[in-house]
């Protein structure tokens, strides 16, 4: 859908150098691939975000909200409509005592997950170390119910504030949030919002007083293990496939299928961890989204044929 000239003029006037047109998404995703967005906008305040969403709805323009672009694969054809990036706004993290040695930490959606972990450690608050090394922003981590072998968001999240497509801000308490593996949903009003998902603005996390030195020691050990086991220095989107509900994890199935190290042009199944697809970028070239998708399909077909298991992507695939 092409941008209406009048809407484009409004974007230019309203957001100035914070809007870019026909902007390649390769520079905004950890995979370093992706075609152009019709408009890429970096709102600086909540008021900017609300107005942008309202105007987009009024003009019938779809919008896609991203954070750090770390669990995202954008197709080579790009994204139509508006891409709204929250990584430059909604970054505040605060805390208040909640009694019984518990503390409520509120982190806005644009804050980096690692910043939330660091805040918790610095303030002697236990509960967030499970997410050490998880890239991206708090909003994305909540949407994905992000987790590791040490825990997941559903273990600490107490409530969220969301921006409804109508422009209303709504608080959703934990008891009204449905947590599942790598996803969250909530009440009927939010789910039936005209096909447009509400935008998470912030999450409130219940953490507990602990010793900052002990937390730091634990954090160093967790990060050391993660660096040893995962290709943290490569261009990827983290674990590519969800683990099956039972049986062996995705990475082990892929390795057993003989696909560890398998390449399609510049896309490769990591030799370090088979559930990572990496973009082997060098000074002259790199993978395309099509290369990564082709490799994804190959992995799915081989695992399905050998083990009768259909691996589902954990990475969010967007674009036309």
Classify domain 235-318 by CATH number. 3.90.78.10
pLDDT at position 306 over 90? yes
- How many Cβ atoms are within 10 Å of 290's Cβ, its own excluded? 15
93-229: CATH architecture: 2-Layer Sandwich (3.30)
Mean pLDDT of 68-86: 96
Q: Identify which of 319, 317, 272 has the alpha carbon closest to the alpha carbon of residue 296.
A: 317
**Residue 57 a catalytic site member:** no
pLDDT grade for 314, boundaries at 50, 70 and 90: very high
Q: How far apart (Å, rounded) are the C-alpha atoms in residues 74 and 103?
A: 38
Mean pLDDT of 288-297: 98
pLDDT grade for 158, boundaries at 50, 70 and 90: very high
Q: Return the HEC string of 70-135.
A: CCEEECCCCEEEEEEECCCCCCCEEEEEEECCEEEEEEECCCEHHHHHHHHHHCCEECCHHHCCCC
Mean pLDDT of 264-291: 95
pLDDT grade for 320, boundaries at 50, 70 and 90: confident
Mean pLDDT of 22-31: 97
Across all residues in the chain, what is the average pLDDT? 94
pLDDT at position 284 over 50? yes
pLDDT tens track for 181-216:
999 988 655 554 455 679 999 999 999 999 999 999
Mean pLDDT of 48-63: 93
User: What's the confidence (pLDDT) of residue 188?
Assistant: 54
**Residue 266 a catalytic site member:** no
Q: How far apart (Å, rounded) are the C-alpha atoms in residues 110 and 87?
A: 5
Selected catalytic residue, list 239, 255, 266, 302: 239
Strands 277-279 and 267-269: antiparallel
pLDDT grade for 255, boundaries at 50, 70 and 90: very high
Structure tokens at 106: 């509120």
Query: Would you kindly state where each structural domain of the chain is located, as residue ranges?
Result: 5-85, 93-229, 235-318
Residues in contact with 248: Cβ distance below 8 Å, sequence separation at least 6, in sequence order: 256
Q: Give, in order, the Cα–Cα distances in Å from 137 to each of 81, 189, 255, 269, 297.
A: 22, 25, 30, 25, 28
Q: In this structure, which topology does domain 5-85 adopt according to CATH? A: 3.30.43
For 297, the enclosing helix (H) or strand (E) is helix 289-307
**Residue 239 a catalytic site member:** yes
User: What's the confidence (pLDDT) of residue 1?
Assistant: 58
Mean pLDDT of 35-53: 96
pLDDT grade for 283, boundaries at 50, 70 and 90: confident
Selected catalytic residue, list 80, 85, 112, 182: 182
């Amino acid at each position: 859908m092409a941008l209406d000239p009048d809407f484009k003029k409004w974007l230019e006037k309203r957001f100035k150098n914070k809007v870019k047109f026909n902007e390649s998404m390769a520079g905004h995703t950890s995979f370093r691939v992706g075609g152009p967005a019709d408009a890429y906008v970096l709102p600086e305040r909540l008021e900017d975000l609300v107005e942008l969403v309202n105007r987009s709805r009024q003009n019938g323009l779809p919008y896609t909200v991203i954070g750090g672009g770390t669990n995202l694969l954008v197709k080579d054809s790009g994204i139509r409509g508006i891409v709204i990036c929250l990584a430059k706004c909604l970054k505040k993290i605060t805390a208040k005592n909640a009694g019984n040695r518990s503390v409520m930490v509120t982190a806005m959606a644009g804050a980096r997950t690692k910043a939330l972990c660091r805040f918790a450690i610095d303030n002697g608050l236990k509960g967030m170390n499970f997410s050490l090394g998880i890239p991206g922003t708090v909003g994305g981590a909540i949407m994905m119910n992000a987790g590791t072998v040490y825990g997941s968001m559903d273990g600490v999240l107490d409530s969220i504030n969301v921006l409804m497509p109508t422009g209303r801000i709504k608080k959703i308490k934990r008891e009204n949030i449905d947590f599942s593996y790598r996803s969250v949903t909530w009440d009927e009003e939010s789910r039936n919002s005209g096909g447009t998902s509400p935008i998470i603005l912030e999450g409130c996390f219940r953490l507990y007083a602990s010793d900052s030195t002990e937390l730091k020691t634990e954090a160093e050990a967790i990060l050391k293990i993660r660096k040893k086991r995962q290709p943290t220095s490569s261009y990827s989107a983290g674990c590519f496939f969800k683990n099956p509900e039972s049986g062996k994890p995705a990475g082990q199935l892929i390795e057993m299928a003989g696909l560890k190290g398998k390449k399609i042009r510049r896309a490769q199944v990591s030799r370090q961890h088979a559930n990572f697809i990496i973009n082997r970028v060098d000074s002259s070239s790199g993978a395309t989204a099509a290369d990564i998708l082709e490799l994804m399909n190959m992995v799915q077909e081989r695992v399905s044929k050998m083990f009768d298991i259909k691996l589902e992507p954990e990475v969010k695939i967007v674009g036309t």
